[in-house]
Amino acid sequence: MLRRAFERDEFRLYLQPIVEFSTSRTVGFEGLVRWQHPTLGLLGPGQFLDNVEELGLISQLDSWMRREAFGVMARLNTAAGEVAPYLSLNVTERELQNATFTGEVLDQIRTAGIPPEQVVLELSENAFVDFEGNEETLEELRASGIRIALDDFGTGYSSLMQLQKLPIDIVKLDRAFVSALTSGGKRALGVLEGLLHVIGAVELTLVVEGVETEFEQDVLVSLGCKFAQGYLYGRPAPAMDVVSLFSAGAASSTEDYASS
């Protein structure tokens, strides 16, 4: 069934906004995949990605995601009349170990006609456990203008000390740190404040994931956070709906996505 999903063009690209606190401006999108199953309807990644991995189709799916997403970003650039917000996509460690990966990504970017600087590739902490093996590929990607993000920071094996040497540009802080604010009191606040200080000290851009309430937003703003992603600003939406918003000139603030 999954193999035929590629032939039948059943996968769908969704985009979730990443916003700037001070302006409510959308500065980026994370690209996410959905499967329009012929009988079960629209499925989230948690319902099929494990099977994709087991069948050895993850590289094929990720390649499809990049082609689709880069094409959408080209449309957004045209609709906006300028370079639109950046695009962030997940990458697996297996892909990094593929000798042709960098060339394939850059070819897809050139074909779509978007600048490499508009692309962010997200990696889980586990991909950096033995990052020396992937360091050359990561540096090649960064040299081209592509930025690298450490995703879900705080859920894997990375330590604060590692942040100073990892070849990354962005840290995406896991939702767990944000949700702890409502139950962890001063201790949770202190931990978060310490993390923000260290991330800022090593001059990395921080994006806080999973912001869902005004309370969480207010605390993060008070701590000096600048960028966030979460249901408070917009749930993942079909990519072409986002293109339509841009074409209508109505996709500059978080309210546009919250109401779409």
Rg of the Cα trace of the chain? 18
The architecture CATH gives domain 2-240: Alpha-Beta Barrel (3.20)
Amino acid identity, residue 11? Answer: F
Nearest partner of 44 among 253, 250, 235, 249, judged by Cα:
235
What pLDDT, on a 0 to 100 scale, did the predictor assign at position 134?
A: 84
What pLDDT, on a 0 to 100 scale, did the predictor assign at position 195?
A: 87
Cβ(109)–Cβ(116) under 8 Å?
A: yes
Cβ(184)–Cβ(205) under 8 Å?
A: no
Task: Please tell me the pTM assigned to this model.
Answer: 0.91
What pLDDT, on a 0 to 100 scale, did the predictor assign at position 259?
A: 46
What pLDDT, on a 0 to 100 scale, did the predictor assign at position 252?
A: 55
Residue-wise pLDDT for 14-70, tens only, equals 999 999 999 989 999 999 999 999 999 999 999 999 999 999 999 999 999 999 999
Exposed/middle/buried for 96, CB within 10 Å: 0-12, 13-18, 19+? buried
What pLDDT, on a 0 to 100 scale, did the predictor assign at position 131?
A: 67
Nearest partner of 232 among 207, 245, 215, judged by Cα:
215
Q: How confident is the model at residue 260 (pLDDT cuts 50, 70, 90)?
A: very low
* Interacting residues of 76 by C-beta distance below 8 A, sequence separation 6+: 84, 85, 242, 243, 246
